[in-house]
Amino acid sequence: MTTATIATPKKEEPLLFEGLTWREFKAVEQLLDRPGYRLSFLDGVLEIRRMPGEPHQTIKERIGALVELYLLMAGFDFTPTGSMTLESEAGAVKREADESYKLAPGRVHPDLAIEVVFTSGGINKLEAYKRLKIPEVWFWEDGVLEIYHLRGEGNTLDYEKISSSKEIKGIDVDLLLRCINMVNHVDAIKTFQQALPK
């Protein structure tokens, strides 16, 4: 049986405004606080993205449901933090993931950030997450899931592309991706759940 997969819509480019100070960015952010738009900031560049609607939300919610099912079944003491605002004035960065998770009690920042990419261009998202010291970042784009893990210490931090998650040990990434890309949400959850160890 061949499983139908979700079609991805045409990508849009975000609006970029360069040369802003942190203070100017914070003032613009207050003025542009509107539903359906997401603002990011890195090194004086303001990025404004329009949320692409249902396809984006479907993938975002699907990933969240599958990840949370796995975390629950695997015994993680996790906290979903969604698209909480992550920012650092010293790092000149502000970012909101589509989904994020603290994977143990007492964490200040999420251990995992997940991005569902339906836009092209914009600020360097990995650089933003590196400055925020997020240990792992997942990117779903065009039916592909890429995983990046933060390595190094101090000023030598950098992301390495890896094939399996270091933060959510044991999760079957191939199965996860197949279920993310299924058309029917309930079928995707059931398929994933049935494959999990009891």
Q: Is the pLDDT at 36 greater than 50, yes or no?
A: yes
Placement of tokens 């796995």 in the chain: 70
Domain CATH for 114: 3.90.1570.10
CB 68 within 8 A of CB 76: no
Is residue 164 one of the residues assigned to a domain? Answer: yes
| 59 vs 57: CA distance, rounded Å | 6
Handedness of CA 181, 182, 186, 190 (dihedral sign): negative
Within a domain: 22: no
Residue 171 counted as domain residue:
yes
Tokens of 174: 């191939």
Angle between helices 185-195 and 54-74 (to 10 degrees): 20
| Burial category of 93 from C-beta neighbours within 10 Å (exposed 0-12, middle 13-18, buried 19 and up) | buried
Mean per-residue pLDDT of the chain: 89
Please give the DSSP secondary-structure letter assigned to residue 166.
S
Answer whether residue 5 is part of any domain.
no
Give the model's pLDDT for residue 6: 57
128 within a domain of the structure (yes/no): yes
In a domain, 11, yes or no: no
Confidence of residue 2 (pLDDT cuts 50, 70, 90): very low
pLDDT at 104: 92
Stated as kind and residue range, the H or E segment containing 137 is: strand 136-141
Q: pLDDT for 80-113, tens place per residue?
A: 999 989 999 988 999 999 999 999 999 999 999 9
Residue 71 covered by a domain: yes
- pLDDT tens digit string along 105-145? 999 999 999 999 887 778 899 999 999 999 999 999 989 99
Q: How many residues does the chain have?
A: 198
For the stretch 162-181, pLDDT in tens is 999 999 999 999 999 999 99
Is 197 strand, coil or helix?
coil
Report the percentage of the chain scoring pLDDT > 90: 64
- Residue range(s) defining the domain that contains residue 126: 52-195
- 64 in a structural domain: yes
Domain count, the chain: 1
